[in-house]
């Protein structure tokens, strides 16, 4: 295979090919990597399940930022805000829902006091209620 590439290159260039060009054509050159490299890509590729507590509408910002990064599954305790102000809770849930739609994520209630919000790569399972007669 190496000879084939060399013959092609010699025919089209009309000259002799040296060792560096042979390595470039055949891909036999290699790159040395340092062992002390950062684990940034490894950390970014992991999924983080992160709990949040929503006491005020302003507490929504860190949740939205984490979801937009794309590596966080958010478990949000809404009980403090629910006990305090239902109007602000509805506002916060609408903001969460719109953000999840924008990032192609998913959002669902988890019990009465929690909301689960996930980024694009996850889907929340919803059971259909079966009514037996």
**Is CATH 3.40.50.620 correct for 45-118?**
no
Kindly list the domain boundaries of the chain, sorted by start residue.
1-35, 45-118
Q: Are 76 and 54 in contact (CB under 8 A)?
A: yes
At residue 66, the pLDDT reads 93
Residues in Cβ contact with 95 at an 8 Å cutoff, skipping those fewer than 6 apart: 60, 64
pTM, to two decimals? 0.61
* Digit-coded pLDDT (tens) for 61-96: 999 999 999 899 999 999 999 999 999 999 999 999
Question: At 16, is the pLDDT very low, low, confident or very high (cuts 50, 70, 90)?
Answer: low
pLDDT at 39 over 70: no
């Amino acid at each position: 295979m190496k000879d084939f590439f060399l013959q092609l290159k010699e025919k089209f260039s009309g000259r002799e090919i040296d060792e560096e060009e042979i390595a470039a054509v055949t891909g036999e050159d290699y790159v040395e990597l340092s062992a002390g490299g950062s684990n940034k890509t490894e950390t970014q590729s992991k999924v983080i399940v992160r709990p949040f507590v929503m006491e005020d509408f302003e507490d929504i910002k860190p949740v939205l930022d984490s979801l937009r990064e794309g590596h966080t599954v958010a478990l949000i305790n809404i009980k403090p805000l629910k006990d305090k102000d239902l109007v602000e809770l509805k506002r916060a849930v609408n903001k969460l829902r719109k953000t999840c739609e924008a990032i192609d994520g998913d959002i669902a209630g988890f019990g009465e006091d929690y909301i689960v919000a996930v980024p694009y790569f996850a889907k929340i399972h919803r059971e259909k209620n079966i009514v037996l007669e």
